[in-house]
Chains A and B, each alone.
Chain A
Amino acid sequence: AQSVTQLDSQVPVFEEAPVELRCNYSSSVSVYLFWYVQYPNQGLQLLLKYLSGSTLVKGINGFEAEFNKSQTSFHLRKPSVHISDTAEYFCAVIYNQGGKLIFGQGTELSVKP
């Protein structure tokens, strides 16, 4: 079955520390990969996406993610986080150009001073 797994439900981290949020997806012929962020009481906002080409993708707010086909992963990273990065982060996948996004369960990133 097509699914998306976010391995950590909560990630606490101190300000200015690096962070990695993990995402794995079901193996498939074709995948398009996305990360969305949801700030408290706000809607979902696109952070970055991988469609093809370079496996390292840069997004907004200093985030980046790397597509690893052999490990079926698309982990999100930031070298130095800010308090304002505190939010829920969702990994999502479109399988086989099927149009619909399938979301993971989300990772709550909590940045502490």
Chain B
Amino acid sequence: GAGVSQTPSNKVTEKGKYVELRCDPISGHTALYWYRQSLGQGPEFLIYFQGTGAADDSGLPNDRFFAVRPEGSVSTLKIQRTERGDSAVYLCASSFSGGTYGYTFGSGTRLTVV
């Protein structure tokens, strides 16, 4: 597609529920990244895929967070047993391999846990 698409744009969920956030990267971009941005903060790295495999998942805060990219294109970030502290904007980005030409970011999914 023309840009990185994230759905939904907004998600409100109750504490303890499970959520899935979807990212559709730019066609041909082999690398895909998930970030979390809290109010007034810079984006915080979560996980990075090269193709289908997670090249670096060191930013996932705990085992409630999981991400997949089964066919090397669309990715889903999954959060189990959501907590109020998970409320943030979740950003997805894609790039050619290595990211040195810069990432293209999506508009994000604003997750609110009530």
Contact = CB atoms under 8 A, between A and B. Distances in A.
Interface of A: 4, 6, 32, 34, 36, 42-46, 49, 51, 90, 92, 94, 97-106
B43 A51 contact: no
A99 to B, nearest CB: 5
- Chain B interface size band reads 20 to 34
Given A43-B108, A44-B91, A101 B103 contact: yes
A3 B68 CA distance: 27
Nearest to A97: B98
B105 interface: yes
Given A44-B43, A44-B91, A106-B41, A100 B105 contact: no
A113 to B, nearest CB: 25
A112 to B, nearest CB: 21
26 contacts: A4-B42, A34-B102, A36-B105, A43-B105, A43-B108, A44-B91, A44-B93, A51-B100, A99-B31, A99-B48, A99-B50, A99-B55, A99-B56, A99-B98, A100-B48, A100-B56, A100-B59, A100-B99, A101-B33, A101-B45, A102-B45, A103-B43, A103-B45, A104-B42, A106-B41, A106-B42
